[in-house]
Chain A
Amino acid sequence: MEKQVILNKRHFELTVNRLCYQLIESHNDFSNTVLIGLQPRGVNVVARLKSQLEAILGKEVVCGNLDITFYRDDFRRREKPLIPSATNIDFVIEGKNVVLVDDVLYTGRTIRSGLDALLAFGRPKKVELLTLVDRRFKRDLPIQADYVGSTVDTLHSERVSVEWKEIEGEDKVVLYTPETNE
């Protein structure tokens, strides 16, 4: 597996910072906006955005986690059932601006499930999408992000991994390419 760093520690920080300011640009003081991270890895993005936004704004930003396992379109099409993660939305989303957050936007199927899952909690005023990495031209559905950290061109055989200081030891985005023998 060949490994290529797309965003190093320094760029990672800059990117997250820029995303925060873009969010503030459209949502002012977040009085009517909530961030919702998609399980499992979007949750890490939300945690980072939350601490940065709160440092900049000096006030609490309401955040939650959403698990989409039961809304997936590939139930019984996989070998094994997927094990759900926790959903934690202890606020009302009715009439709110919701920013859905994930780490990598790829086929768009997760986001489609996320939109469905979100509606079980009420009718938001507006839903936007933020992704740290956009694997463009690889969509199965007509879904695009409103805020993009970094755009990459990839092959289906490749894998993009967002790694975190808290989990993997360092903030970075890595592209894994399988070695071909041809």
Chain B
Amino acid sequence: MNNLSVEHLTGIKDLTREDIELIFKTADSFKEVINRPIKKVPSLRDITIANLFFENSTRTRLSFELAEKRLSADVVNFSAASSSVKKGETLIDTVNNILSMKVDMVVMRHPNPGAAKFLSERIGAKVVNAGDGTHEHPTQALLDAFSIRERLGSVEGKKVVIVGDILHSRVALSNIYCLQKLGAEVMVCGPTTLIPKYIHELGVKVEHNLRAALEWCDVANMLRIQLERQDIKYFPSLREYSMQFGLTKEILDSLPKEIIVMHPGPINRGVEITSDVADSKQSIILQQVENGVAVRMAVIYLLASKIERQ
């Protein structure tokens, strides 16, 4: 197996385990490349990639842009805030206009679930989903699993708990698919109001007590409370959330074994995770960011190899 089974990366749901393992194997090589004195390879010299961000992002956008540049692709950036979208242009029109400038691949973040899939069915270019609303964020899940694999040797058989705002989190959904495909056990933990009603049907455990969840797991992925997506109150106050579900050094040190702490960023220090935990030896938050570039290089490289030459 040395080719992806998909033409676009719209979600982890569409990938096979072999696809994920191929991406990881390729990312291993790119991780070595980005640690060289010259962190750049010429593979994608003749490819142009548009980064379309209809929603705010720092990390993901920078990470994609670096990945593209380190593969020698030409990059154009677009953010909704400063564009004609504000003047009433539709998504398809915006994208088709960009594509007529001969763009081969589109990396898109959009507030609406399914936007990446919608686009991939209507345009000729390759589409990479960089987050579509509350649906999926596939490259984040890939880099999370890649970081677990790097730290623990493999993902198979590991126990991972995802803590926080599962209801609004695309990271949670993509992580559940990705980890399960690689043979890990997944648990979600958070206040009842922030756990989707039928999530157990995905085969995940549900826990409402943080300590019990942490005692069970090998890895804890702490998610941010997405206040911008919460139209109603889901819990009485941030302080109360933090007291019930915030990860502190005290809890971490009292656990019977040493677990790994992850966070997809951006961190709200003192809410879901305290500063001393975020900066501790058990935290791999910054490794996740480094691996993000390598994993995105792998995804782009493998998809680009499927672009037909004119």
Q: Which residues from chain A sit less than 8 Å from chain B, CB to CB?
A: 67, 69-72, 75-78, 80-87, 116-117, 119-122
Would you give the shortest CB distance from B71 to chain A, in whole angstroms?
Answer: 8
Cβ B2 vs Cβ A81 within 8 A: yes
Cβ B38 vs Cβ A120 within 8 A: yes
Would you give the shortest CB distance from A96 to chain B, in whole angstroms?
Answer: 14
Would you give the shortest CB distance from B127 to chain A, in whole angstroms?
Answer: 18
B76 within 8 A of A: no
Which segment of B28-36, B117-125, B188-196 sits at the interface?
B28-36
Cβ A71 vs Cβ B42 within 8 A: yes
Q: A116–B38 Cα gap in the complex (Å)?
A: 11
Cβ A87 vs Cβ B32 within 8 A: yes
Contacts known (A70-B43, A80-B2, A82-B2); A121 close to B29, Cβ less than 8 A: no
B37 within 8 A of A: yes
Would you give the shortest CB distance from B295 to chain A, in whole angstroms?
Answer: 14
Out of B2, B33, B46, B307, name the residue touching A83 (CB < 8 Å): B2
Out of B3, B32, B40, B304, name the residue touching A76 (CB < 8 Å): B304
Q: A86–B30 Cα gap in the complex (Å)?
A: 10
Out of B36, B40, B46, B305, name the residue touching A81 (CB < 8 Å): B305
Collect the chain A residues with CB atoms within 8 Å of residue B41's CB.
70-71, 117, 120
Cβ A119 vs Cβ B38 within 8 A: yes
Contacts across chains A and B counted by CB atoms under 8 Å: 59
The residue in A77, A78, A83 that gathers the most chain B C-beta atoms within 10 A of its C-beta is A83
Cβ A121 vs Cβ B37 within 8 A: yes
Contacts known (A80-B2, A81-B3, A86-B32); A120 close to B40, Cβ less than 8 A: yes
Collect the chain A residues with CB atoms within 8 Å of residue B301's CB.
70, 81
Collect the chain B residues with CB atoms within 8 Å of residue A81's CB.
2-3, 301-302, 305
Would you give the shortest CB distance from A95 to chain B, in whole angstroms?
Answer: 13
Q: A78–B29 Cα gap in the complex (Å)?
A: 20
Cβ B37 vs Cβ A80 within 8 A: no
Cβ A75 vs Cβ B40 within 8 A: no
Would you give the shortest CB distance from B308 to chain A, in whole angstroms?
Answer: 8
Which residues of B290-305 have CB atoms within 8 Å of chain A's CB atoms? 301-302, 304-305
Collect the chain B residues with CB atoms within 8 Å of residue A83's CB.
2, 22, 25-26
Q: Can you list 10 A-B contacts with CB-CB less than 8 angstroms, sorted by A residue number? A: A76-B304, A78-B305, A81-B2, A82-B2, A83-B25, A84-B29, A86-B32, A87-B33, A120-B38, A122-B37
Q: A80–B29 Cα gap in the complex (Å)?
A: 17
Out of B36, B46, B302, name the residue touching A120 (CB < 8 Å): B36
Collect the chain A residues with CB atoms within 8 Å of residue B44's CB.
75
- 17 additional A-B residue pairs with CB within 8 Å, beyond A75-B43, A121-B36: A69-B29, A70-B42, A70-B71, A76-B307, A80-B2, A81-B3, A81-B302, A82-B2, A83-B26, A86-B28, A87-B33, A117-B41, A120-B36, A120-B37, A120-B40, A121-B38, A122-B37
Would you give the shortest CB distance from B296 to chain A, in whole angstroms?
Answer: 15
Would you give the shortest CB distance from B185 to chain A, in whole angstroms?
Answer: 30
Cβ A67 vs Cβ B37 within 8 A: no
B309 within 8 A of A: yes
Contacts known (A86-B32, A116-B42, A122-B37); A77 close to B309, Cβ less than 8 A: yes
Q: A168–B304 Cα gap in the complex (Å)?
A: 35
Cβ A67 vs Cβ B36 within 8 A: no
Contacts known (A81-B2, A83-B2, A87-B32); A76 close to B38, Cβ less than 8 A: no
Would you give the shortest CB distance from B70 to chain A, in whole angstroms?
Answer: 10
Residue of B nearest to A69 (CB): B29
Collect the chain B residues with CB atoms within 8 Å of residue A84's CB.
26, 29
Cβ B42 vs Cβ A76 within 8 A: no
Which residues of B118-139 have CB atoms within 8 Å of chain A's CB atoms? none
Residue of A nearest to B42 (CB): A71
Q: A76–B2 Cα gap in the complex (Å)?
A: 14
Collect the chain B residues with CB atoms within 8 Å of residue A78's CB.
305
Cβ A76 vs Cβ B29 within 8 A: no
Collect the chain B residues with CB atoms within 8 Å of residue A116's CB.
42
Would you give the shortest CB distance from B143 to chain A, in whole angstroms?
Answer: 18
Which residues of B1-43 have CB atoms within 8 Å of chain A's CB atoms? 2-3, 22, 25-26, 28-29, 32-33, 36-38, 40-43
Q: A116–B309 Cα gap in the complex (Å)?
A: 23
Q: A5–B139 Cα gap in the complex (Å)?
A: 50
Collect the chain A residues with CB atoms within 8 Å of residue B28's CB.
86
